[in-house]
Structure 1
Amino acid sequence: MSIGYSLYLSSFEMQKPMFEEIDGRGQFVFTSLHLQEEMDDLKAYREQAKSALHWLKGKGFYIIADVSPITLEIFNAPTLNEFMTRLPVDCLRIDYGFSDDDILTLAKDYPVCFNASTVKKDFGLKLKALGTKIFACHNFYPRPETGLDEDMFREINEWLKELGFHIMAFIPGKAKRKPIYEGLPTLERHRTLPSYVSFLDLVLKEGIDTVLVGDLTIDHQDRLWIEQYLSHQTICLPVHFEPPYSHLYDQAFTVRPDSPFSNIRLTESRLMNWDEGLLKPYHQTDRPVGTITVDNVNYGRYRGEIQIVRVDRPRDERVNVIGHVDPNYLDLLPIIPNRSKIRFVRKR
């Protein structure tokens, strides 16, 4: 699994500080080289493209460029194969305007990326037979209510996975891009979610290989949490604790393998060296979704067990309410699988 970012040539100087912070090795950049609104001055556009792409290659990014026949015309390349020698890109995403033979000819010599949302299975089989690296990249959808629904997404991905293709999809970012400024996700359900939540949803629930940020930037904290997950497979869970329980910030736990959907049960919590005062009855209230609790001394051998509730629960005199998941990140809760590692973090 990996993360990637979108490059927009007209916004590169604004995006550059973000790219400067990122170690590009093993990470992807996706860019479109046929956006008409960026092409007022074709000579300047060509120079800008070469400069930005060379800079990103110097950082170690793997660059996928979305192209059309207009792109070849602008860069004076008679064929897709010739275009690959003109710019420092690693792979071309081919959508419309090229014949199957054009794409197959390219795929004999270079990795190829196709539109996962529209390609036909019989053509996918032809590409697979060539034995080259094949990426299947879904579209993003600027207009609200046009993003893919889960059933369609999974149906498409099922056969892509069967053929062993590397699947990519988009999530919204922080600085929204024109023309609608309402996020650039593949799945409609992600349009208003934090990038971190959308990333984990695609990786953990949908089995996507590479998640691309469609917008101009990503929230800095979300990016750090994504990088931590990629490095350590630990899910950072933004929370707010009651003051007596603030020592639980930055603590890591394992989700029990037998946790029901209703409650995330944390394996190590009952084995902790608890201060006995923290297990006396305290703050016993209703427990809406996202509430963090610890079983108090009235629960016998369960004393000290920390849970995160995923369904609304009533007050229980044996259970102390000690915190809650940050409201912006409640959508993480259905995503967290049993046996996973989680870490409680402050939302800054």
Structure 2
Amino acid sequence: MKRRLGLSVYPDNSDFNKDKEYLDLAAKYGFSRIFMSMLEVKDGKEAVFNKFKNIIGYAKEIGFEVILDIAPNIFDALEISYDDLSFFSEVGADGIRLDVAFDSNKEAMLSFNPYNLIIELNMSNDVAYLNNILTYQPNKPFIYGCHNFYPQDGSALPLDFFTSCSERFKKEGIRTAAFINSQVGTFGPWDINDGLPTVEIHRKLPVEVQAKHLFATGLIDDVIIGNAYASEEELKALSEVNRYQTVFKVELVDDINDVEKEILFKNQHFRRGDITSQMIRSTEVRKKYKEKDNNPHDNELMFKRGDIVIGNDKFGKYKNELQIVLEDHKDNRKNKVGKIIDDELILLDYVKPWSKFKFNE
């Protein structure tokens, strides 16, 4: 399943022209889906329809898929029913997100709506909700899953709970989404805004690290910025994230040589299938560079988790093998060539047997 980047728009709390500029910028950087919140009906059904139709229409013109987040009270305020989703089709949405659960048969029936609207389910509950819906034979290609976001500091999901919730959806082949937090975004749907991530440990991290982590779990297809507006620098950084393998950002040691730089940056690395707990081994490079000399340097250190080392001339057949340290150890047959930045050490847990990975300086 192809992975995508998304962003959030809040027409109830924003200006059309500013939203339009934001969408133009995001489209420039390859974003392709929108979470759009419809929270209140202050000015009547017709005014709401026109406001949302304008921004959704523009978003569709420039290639976005738009999912409307619908609070239950909106149906009463608009005097519409879950049995008639024509309003959302006419306003131009591709789908609606149900923040509340019905009896599972209802969700299955909604997925057969005549407008081919996507029905997006709340993923942030570790219960058999999806499984129950699947027993009622829904129109599965039109079922998505999307986590919640959490504006209060400390209130987002712990990682293990997020993983358990997400696995329920991913193992059934459902398209999944989760939110990350812009460090410069100032608003969302409510008056509290300590950021809008799904996972609590992401709240203060750079956006690209959050995205790398979600993609690295293998559980999330669409990564969506929860708060508005992200900066152009953040959008650009996200556009450069490899969505299909982890690319670690590294800090190099001063004495790294040209051979080591080439080994590090010019090769597709993968972890050996017969893994060890002490390090992640990329062994093919030692064959490719077996004739290249590699004098010892930075080799009398205690290597720490996240250090990147390459075998030096003392290491015999293992000369020029690349390793990422997982457990602290010393070995003067290895040169330290750099270290993974601290924010990205969390990604090491997702380098499994045969996992592919690369490095950026």
TM-score tier after normalising by the smaller chain length: 0.7 to 0.9
The residue correspondences of 1:1-348 to structure 2 (distance < 5 A) are 1-3=2-4, 4-9=6-11, 10=14, 12-13=19-20, 15-23=22-30, 27-34=32-39, 36=40, 46-72=49-75, 77=80, 80-96=84-100, 103=107, 105-109=109-113, 110=116, 111-118=118-125, 121=128, 125-126=132-133, 128-132=136-140, 133-161=142-170, 163-178=172-187, 179-205=191-217, 207-216=219-228, 217=230, 219-226=234-241, 229-230=242-243, 233-243=244-254, 244-245=256-257, 247-248=261-262, 250-255=265-270, 256-273=272-289, 276=292, 279-284=294-299, 285-314=301-330, 316-346=331-361
Q: 2 CA distance for matches of 1:123 and 1:332? A: 28
Letter of the 2:214 counterpart: L
Letter of the 1:18 counterpart: L
Q: How many residue pairs end up in the alignment? A: 335
Find the residue that maps to 1:265 and give its secondary structure.
strand
Letter of the 2:146 counterpart: C
Distance 1:130 1:280, change over 3 A: closer
Find the residue that maps to 1:141 and give its secondary structure.
coil
Q: 2 CA distance for matches of 1:162 and 1:274? A: 42
Find the residue that maps to 2:91 and give its secondary structure.
coil
Find the residue that maps to 2:197 and give its secondary structure.
coil
TM-score by length of 1: 0.81
Asked whether the 8 Å contact 1:172–1:195 carries over to 2, the reply is yes
Q: Deviations over 1:38-62 (max 9, x none)?
A: x776676654422221121112222
Q: 2 CA distance for matches of 1:160 and 1:129? A: 15
Letter of the 1:82 counterpart: S
Q: CA deviation at 1:236?
A: 1.8
Q: CA deviation at 1:154?
A: 3.8
Asked whether the 8 Å contact 2:130–2:169 carries over to 1, the reply is no
**Structure 2 alignment gaps of length 5 or more:** none
Q: Deviations over 1:102-152 (max 9, x none)?
A: 755532214311222249636752465233421122211111221122343
**Structure 1 alignment gaps of length 5 or more:** none
Determine what percentage of the aligned residue pairs are the same residue: 25
Aligned-residue CA RMSD in angstroms? 3.2
Q: 1 CA distance for matches of 2:197 and 2:43? A: 29
Distance 1:194 1:336, change over 3 A: farther
TM-score by length of 2: 0.79
Q: 1 CA distance for matches of 2:237 and 2:179? A: 15
Q: Deviations over 1:141-185 (max 9, x none)?
A: 111221122343344344444554333222223433434543322
Q: CA deviation at 1:33?
A: 1.0
Q: 2 CA distance for matches of 1:215 and 1:282? A: 46
Distance 1:221 1:58, change over 3 A: closer
Letter of the 2:99 counterpart: D
Asked whether the 8 Å contact 1:292–1:323 carries over to 2, the reply is yes
Distance 1:319 1:312, change over 3 A: same
Asked whether the 8 Å contact 1:69–1:97 carries over to 2, the reply is no
